[in-house]
Amino acid sequence: MAHGPATLADGWVKYISRWVFTTNHKDIGTLYLWFSFAMFILGGSFAMIIRAELFQPGMQLIKPEFFNQMTTMHGLVMVFGAIMPAFVGLANWLIPMMIGAPDMALPRMNNLSFWILPFAFAILVATLFMEGGGPNFGWTFYAPLSTTYAPDTVNYFIFGVHIMGASSIMGSINIIATVMNMRAPGMTYMKMPMFVWTWLITAFLLVAVMPVLAGAVTMMLTDINFGTSFFDAAGGGDPVLFQHIFWFFGHPEVYIIILPAFGVVSQIIPTFSRKPLFGYSSMVYATASIAFMSFIVWAHHMFTVGMPIAGELYFMYATMLIAVPTGVKVFNWITTMYKGSLTFETPMLFSIAFVILFTFGGFTGLMLSIAAADIQYHDTYFVVAHFHYVMVAGAVFSGTAAVYYWLPKWCGKMYDETMGKVQFWIAFIGFNITFMPQHFLGLAGMPRRYADYGLQFADWNMVSSIGAFMYGAAQILFLFNVVRTITHGKPVDKPEVWEGAEGLEWTVPTPAPYHTFEKPPQVK
């Protein structure tokens, strides 16, 4: 084996060492993607427990204390374990191939940033089996719930967050260095594919705000263990300060999750419309302005803390302003499809569903941005419905689309189109059955994060749970389809795979060889 990766045929030791010590961007991308899928299944099973308990009013399956741990862990695992690593995985696989670079700029750091991640989540998940249970204070871990009233295991949670933060920062530094320093000759910034652009901007957001999250949990740590009073009113601190710091991280974080998803659909829609992306430069500027504005709207998550009216008005209008660049993007996607020769392969179906459902989630976001109305909606299922429309139908749908779209390039086999479409329709219908009724529940006043609810909420909760089980089943089908493709898929050998696909990644042979672009391509 002079060149190329070790396979199972070389024996277990060599095969495992290959994955542990790999510095190859494709290997690390694969690791990230499989890890994030494992976390997706784990976080999904927490969601299934939540929905099973909420199937009927009253307490049936689990205790309220455990329910709180489930809602917290579901949020943490999905945000930090499933969605973020999935997009880092896509970035690792695709960015070097899209800009004509042989690998990531800092391959050893790349290896480190992946391999600390399983430890972070092992620590986090292990708290569920410890005395006192896992974190039970919601994924936003507001003080003093997460300090004064937290279980002792909160220290493990803090350590876990520190590790995953370090991993994210290293990952983003790597992406920035790759994009800025390793573009092929002729690949100017304004020629980069949208996915690369959105990731470059996302990486800057990550470097700026992950340290703020680390700071927030560090202050929690010293409050809990070393007698400081950042968030403790008894010592002159203020719990509301925690919310400000958390959301100063948290709001850019939601764009960290969605911007790469924007990038993915901006690659897929032109391919299956057989037209170039409409308004490329406006897409770039829209992405940059969304990223900038994400820093100045954080307090719209906290309209009920008792802000002065001027503050509420400012955060309300600033939030509404974000709808403008987002609207530009939606307009461009639709206009790209307009008069195109559309075909509806699975990735395209997921991308179109993304555009429709993300826009829907954006509209409920606009409703929530109205400060006066938000006081009614705050902490109800309306909020839960809103952020699942943008996180699941946004980030997860586009991640699924990305896997179907690039899977043939990665493994040289074509997935089963029928199975993909079946999965899409189960996921699409199941998703809407799950989350559409949660709007009604929220408007009717059902609060989030409770293990039980009033009888008047029973019917829609049962509908929502049935939809959730459907959506969960679709993910099992997804896993099966991907595994089946790798083992039994029909081989593909043409480099471009899809008829209308544009970009450097489609110029390399299929499946993508272990090393690509050792000699940089010339981009015209």
Look at residues 3, 205, 172 and name the one whose alpha carbon lies nearest to residue 95: 172
Closer residue to another protein (CB): 130 or 233:
233
The helices-and-strands tally (H runs, E runs) of the chain is 18, 2
The total number of residues shown for the chain amounts to: 524
Q: Which stretch binds another protein (CB under 8 A): 30-38, 233-241, 341-349, 481-489?
A: 233-241
Category of 142 on φ-ψ map: left (φ > 0), alpha (ψ -120 to 50) or beta: beta
Active site residue 326: yes
Does the protein bind another protein through residue 291 (CB under 8 A)?
A: no
Q: Say which residues have a Cβ less than 8 Å from residue 234's Cβ, sequence separation at least 6.
A: none
Catalytic residue among 329, 388, 409, 413: 329
Q: Residue 413's beta-bridge partner residues?
A: 491
- Tell me the per-residue interface mask from 94 to 133 with another protein, x by CB under 8 A, - otherwise: -----------xx---------------------------
Distance of alpha carbon 370 from alpha carbon 43, whole angstroms? 31
- Of residues 44 through 73, those in contact with another protein by CB under 8 A are none
Consecutive H or E run containing 413: strand 413-414
**425: helix, strand or coil:** helix
Does the protein bind another protein through residue 244 (CB under 8 A)?
A: yes
**The binder of another protein chosen from 6, 52, 128, 240 (CB under 8 A):** 240
Active site residue 415: no
Distance of alpha carbon 395 from alpha carbon 48, whole angstroms? 19
Q: How far is the CB of 223 from another protein (least distance, A)?
A: 11
Q: Which stretch binds another protein (CB under 8 A): 48-56, 69-77, 188-196, 210-218?
A: 210-218
Distance of alpha carbon 28 from alpha carbon 514, whole angstroms? 12
Active site residue 168: yes
| The token pair that represents 38 in the structure block | 């494992």
- Tell me the per-residue interface mask from 134 to 173 with another protein, x by CB under 8 A, - otherwise: --------------xx-------------------x--xx
DSSP-derived letter for residue 231 is: S
Q: Which stretch binds another protein (CB under 8 A): 238-246, 281-289, 485-493, 509-517?
A: 238-246
Question: What residue type is assigned to position 381 of the chain?
Answer: Y
**The binder of another protein chosen from 234, 281, 487, 519 (CB under 8 A):** 234
Does the protein bind another protein through residue 283 (CB under 8 A)?
A: no
Distance of alpha carbon 270 from alpha carbon 502, whole angstroms? 9
Does the protein bind another protein through residue 192 (CB under 8 A)?
A: no
Closer residue to another protein (CB): 92 or 400:
92
Catalytic residue among 27, 253, 312, 505: 253
Q: Which stretch binds another protein (CB under 8 A): 30-38, 303-311, 402-410, 467-475?
A: 303-311
**Cis bond leading into 144, ω under 30°?**
yes
Q: How far is the CB of 174 from another protein (least distance, A)?
A: 9
CB 165 within 8 A of CB 214: yes
Active site residue 300: yes
Closer residue to another protein (CB): 107 or 511:
107
CA angle 82, 88, 89 (to 5 degrees): 85
Closer residue to another protein (CB): 130 or 180:
180
* Total binding residues toward another protein, as defined by CB under 8 A: 38
The Cα-based distances of 326 to 262, 282, 398, 406, 461 in angstroms read 10, 11, 16, 25, 31
**60: helix, strand or coil:** coil
**The binder of another protein chosen from 8, 13, 181, 524 (CB under 8 A):** 181
Q: Residue 414's beta-bridge partner residues?
A: 490
Does the protein bind another protein through residue 422 (CB under 8 A)?
A: no
**431: helix, strand or coil:** helix
Does the protein bind another protein through residue 23 (CB under 8 A)?
A: no
Active site residues per annotation = 74, 103, 139, 167-168, 251, 253, 255, 266, 300-301, 326, 329, 448
Which residues contact another protein (rule: CB under 8 A)?
105-106, 148-149, 169, 172-173, 176-177, 180-181, 207-212, 214-216, 218-219, 227, 230, 233-238, 240-241, 244-245, 248, 306-308
